[in-house]
Amino acid sequence: MGSMNFKTIESRGYRISEVNRFLDQTNKTDSSKRTVEEIESIRFSLTRRKGYDPKEVDSYLDDLIAAQKSRSAETNENEKLEFSKANPSQGLTNEVGKKEVSLITSERLRELTPPVVEGIGYEVSEVDHFLQLVADTLQTFEAKSGTEIENLKADQYLPRSESLRLLTSDQIRWALFTVNEEGGYDMRGVDAAVNRLADALDHHWQRNK
């Protein structure tokens, strides 16, 4: 039987065998793997005979739900931190202000996904497309050095240039996304990442070697 000691009542209580079975399953498995929806969907039969007090059992389920929501919130915060402060696999020095700043690379950016939230969030498809464009620009810069990078920048101003049109830091900083009220990417995480990506583009546009 489970480790909980619920009060029993003479009638209109939850069937003891069902509650005990649930408690056994909870003790044998990692309860943190249960989703909030799974816990909320749990139903126990009411019996005319002796059973567990529904108020105590429901209170226990509420505690499980609260604990799971707390774990989920902590996980989401960690994901936001990972995305908004993502470090590249190789360091770059931001020459703006001569500060030593670790900047994200195209390879790292392609590996990252913003945290998804319920409720208000940025439209997923728009953010994905935007991040793909940024990664393409970063990758193009990363493959060039010296004279090549100067030529690449110069080509951007030619009306019929065949070179890839590169994003500027201002285009990234002022990027706008559709807000979806039914869920999407976490807005704070994306906004924080946008600022770091703009710094990365500043670095490439200003370097000459």
151 versus 56: which is more confidently predicted?
A: 56
Work out the end-to-end distance of the chain between its first and last CA atoms, rounded to an integer number of angstroms: 70
Query: Helices 124-142 and 187-206: crossing angle, nearest 10°?
Result: 20
**Cα 62 to Cα 84: distance, rounded to the nearest angstrom:** 33
pLDDT tens figures, 26-79: 776 655 566 778 888 888 999 888 999 999 999 988 888 888 877 766 666 555
The radius of gyration of the chain from alpha carbons, rounded to an integer in Å, stands at 27
Residue 84 corresponds to which tokens in the numbers above?
């908004």
**Cα 117 to Cα 114: distance, rounded to the nearest angstrom:** 9
Query: Helices 54-84 and 187-206: crossing angle, nearest 10°?
Result: 10
Longest CA pairwise span in the chain (Å) = 87
User: Is this model's pTM higher than 0.85 or not?
Assistant: no
Q: Quick one: pLDDT at residue 2? A: 45
Mean pLDDT of the chain: 78
Nearest to 126 by CA among 194, 71, 30, 61: 194
The separation between CA 80 and the C-alpha centre of its own chain, rounded to angstroms, equals 5
Q: Quick one: pLDDT at residue 83? A: 61
Residue 3: pLDDT band (50, 70, 90) is: very low
pLDDT at 98 over 50: no
